[in-house]
Chains A and B, each alone.
Chain A
Amino acid sequence: MSKFLASLVAATMLVPAAARAEGTIEVLHHWVSQSEVDALNVIRKDLETKGFQWKDSAVGGMSGANAQQALRSRLTSGDPPGAMQFLGWEGPQWAEQGVVRDLNDLAKAGGWREALPPQLLAFVTSGDAFIAAPINMHRQNWVWANKKIFDEAGIAVPKTWADLIAAGKKLKEKGVTPVAMGDEPWQIGIIFDALLSDLNGPEFYKKAAIDLDPAALNSPEMVKVFDALREVRGLVDDNFVGRDWAVATGMVINGEAAMQFMGDWAKGEFLAKGLKPNTDFYCFATPAKVTSFQYVIDSFGMFTVKDETVQKAQVALAETIMDPKVQKGFNLIKGSIPARTDVSVDDFDDCAKLGFNERAEAIEAGSMLGAMTHGFAAKPEFASVFGDVAAQFFVGKMSSEDAVKMLVEGIDNAR
């Protein structure tokens, strides 16, 4: 009897222990806000059903720069985390250093390459290797607008930048701040990236922001971009210094301002206030003849480790991330859309549905573009030159011609 009891006790104690025994994986990331953590929990729970534990290493701040520093010191000391959140070129750059695990077998078996938009592959592959599992896709070039202000002023959703700027001027005359934003270079960069493609077409964007073609950089089209940026500056109030993007979103929500140019992480601010897309607020892409979809993705890469249980956990984590069900659950909370293109659009809100549609169109039209300001076009040393010039131009009194000259010289200096 006592033996039976003892074995029963041992068995009950063993069950959770056995579930954990499959392995633990440490994941280094920079997501610390509530919605981000909630979204991550979708991944974590799915991983746990496979019997693996997620060990959280969150290093917030500086848009991921702090987490990158943490990673550098971990790699240098020979103790990399099992997995790491990658932004922009970080994944391919670490892969060049030979520290990232190749997931090609999983990718082939799971048909990952076919499930993802082809434009994404540059950021999740390195040569023949598949180096990171992308979980989501944000779109950078959205406009968020207060519907009531638009309706009262008799303004329709603009179809061109000329319409948009004219609408802004009309609103300004009525005493409404047309555009809410802060003076941080990345907030200005969002508008610059949009203008680059919207005014001159996606091919020009690729030449200028990805290939860094000197002819494109030093062209009348580039001057046109700065001219339009100057027009946008006229639509921003003078108190924009040091304003956080979420504060600017709040101005649109409260009716202090009419529009904001911001990625779809701004959507959460509207939804949290109980506002409904197309009844309380508008979401639409920055206007253009060929509407572009400027994407920002988060992916998770796995580092080469010796521990076999961690290796197994890495496989499980990668499969979890690429699971359409998980991608759906994650993105419903995060406000982005799945990186995979084969996830159903049901349950998503109208803005996300619009995003799905326009992504499909953009893939066809060749206007699916990496968002430069968030590191998905030129490498950081070049993208930051664009950011510097656009920001200095925006807050100062530089002429468009001088800005183009400064841009060309800056890019050459960074080459």
Chain B
Amino acid sequence: MNAAKSFSSRLAGWLPRIVVAPSLLVVIVTVYLFILWTGVISFTSSKFVPVYDFVGLEQFVRLWATPRWHTAVANLFIFSALFLVLSTGIGLLMAILLDQNIRSEGLLRAVYLYPMALSFIVTGTAWKWIMNPGLGIQKVVNELGWTGFTFDWITDPNMAIYTVVIAGVWQSSGFAMAIFLAGLRGIDNSVIKAAQIEGASLPLIYRQIIIPMLRPAMLSVIVLLSYIAIKSFDLVLALTNGGPGSATELPSTFMFSATFRRNQMGVGAASAIMMLMTVAAIIIPYLYSELRERNNG
């Protein structure tokens, strides 16, 4: 009886660890081991197949001497910055407007959130046609009578990256809205009432009280949207396929083509490591601050 009890209590203690162990093992092997392996490859002269000779930073030097990589990095910053600011801003605005006790809010919420349910492939393909000057917006406006109107960003190497931003923002701002809306619902009404009694105007209440109180929601939105920005591979693939020329290349499309289509596995691995560093630069401070807060709490 006693022995059985101690066994079951010991089992109860071990059970969480046993349950978690397989998934932990899978994550260690499929994520961290391969990150390590990619790191190793980036220091070798691998081209068509992996080879294990150590050539130091040669592949990184080659990577940074490739103009396409510079385009890709610049595009990532342009895209991420605009995508984050616009998605967050539009999402917040929509959330605040939806929060005004309007009619059929549920329906509108679904409508705005719906693009998130589409894959980036669908979004990209649809916007490719919408923004094609001979098929989409430009043609419609021209046929309506405004013949001088042009909207041909998608054909212009200098502007094409902004078309990716448009499609990305269209897809993701509804998602930001949903998170902000949840945050708004969590704010105690009495705070707002108190401010109103004090005579604060509505814009002031939002600027000084509500938006600062949405800080946790804001952080979640930014972190989640950063992930989306960095892995926006399929959006670019469907919308512009990296073109025109290589004007909309992103680090992820660069990495894929170097590794799998251009016989430059070492360069591809080096670019993957550069991407990892970028993500780490964002995520590690975030994790650090989160964990510190939790420990303090």
Contact = CB atoms under 8 A, between A and B. Distances in A.
A384 B262 CA distance: 7
B89 interface: no
A413 B245 contact: no
B261 A185 contact: no
Contact of A414 (B49, B244, B264): B264
A93 B261 CA distance: 14
Given A239-B133, A406-B67, A68 B244 contact: no
A272 to B, nearest CB: 24
A274 interface: no
A394 B247 CA distance: 12
Given A69-B260, A93-B48, A238 B157 contact: no
A185 B248 CA distance: 13
A395 B67 contact: no
Interface residues of B, number: 30
Interface string A144-174: 0000000000000000000000000000000
B157 A384 contact: no
B48 A242 contact: no
A203 B240 CA distance: 36
Interface in B192-247: 240-241, 243-247
Nearest to A66: B260
Contacts of A395: 155, 157, 243-245, 247
Contacts of B67: 406, 410
Contacts of A379: 263
A395 B247 CA distance: 9
A242 B240 contact: yes
Interface in A370-415: 379-381, 384, 388, 391-396, 406, 409-410, 413-414
B68 interface: yes
B281 interface: no
A279 interface: no
Interface string A1-29: 00000000000000000000000000000
A363 to B, nearest CB: 29
A223 B178 CA distance: 55
Contact of B243 (A65, A241, A384, A413): A241
Contacts of A239: 132-135, 155
Contacts of A394: 245
A370 to B, nearest CB: 16
B262 A381 contact: yes
Contact of B134 (A183, A238, A388): A238
Given A242-B132, A406-B67, A413-B66, A391 B260 contact: no
Nearest to B264: A381
A97 interface: yes
A184 interface: yes
Contact of B260 (A68, A392, A410, A413): A68
Nearest to A381: B263
A410 B69 CA distance: 12
Is the contact region of chain B dominated by helix, strand, or loop, or is it mixed?
loop
Nearest to A69: B260
A414 B66 CA distance: 9
Interface size grouping (class) on chain A: 20 to 34
B246 A388 contact: yes
Nearest to B260: A65
A238 B260 contact: no
Interface in B257-284: 257, 260-264
B241 A380 contact: no
Given A384-B261, A388-B245, A396 B157 contact: yes
Interface string B130-166: 0011110000000000000000101101000000000
A72 B265 CA distance: 13
B155 A391 contact: no
A185 B249 CA distance: 13
B245 A184 contact: no
B62 interface: yes
Interface string A91-112: 0010001000000000000000
A68 B262 CA distance: 12
Contacts of B246: 185, 388, 391-392
Contacts of B260: 62, 65, 68-69
B89 to A, nearest CB: 29
A395 B245 CA distance: 6
Nearest to A390: B245
Given A65-B261, A242-B132, A381-B263, A396 B62 contact: no
The 7 closest A-B pairs by CB, nearest first: A239-B134, A395-B244, A392-B245, A380-B263, A395-B245, A384-B262, A381-B263
Interface of B: 47-49, 62, 65-68, 128, 132-135, 152, 154-155, 157, 240-241, 243-247, 257, 260-264
Interface of A: 62, 65, 68-69, 72, 89, 93, 97, 183-185, 237-242, 379-381, 384, 388, 391-396, 406, 409-410, 413-414
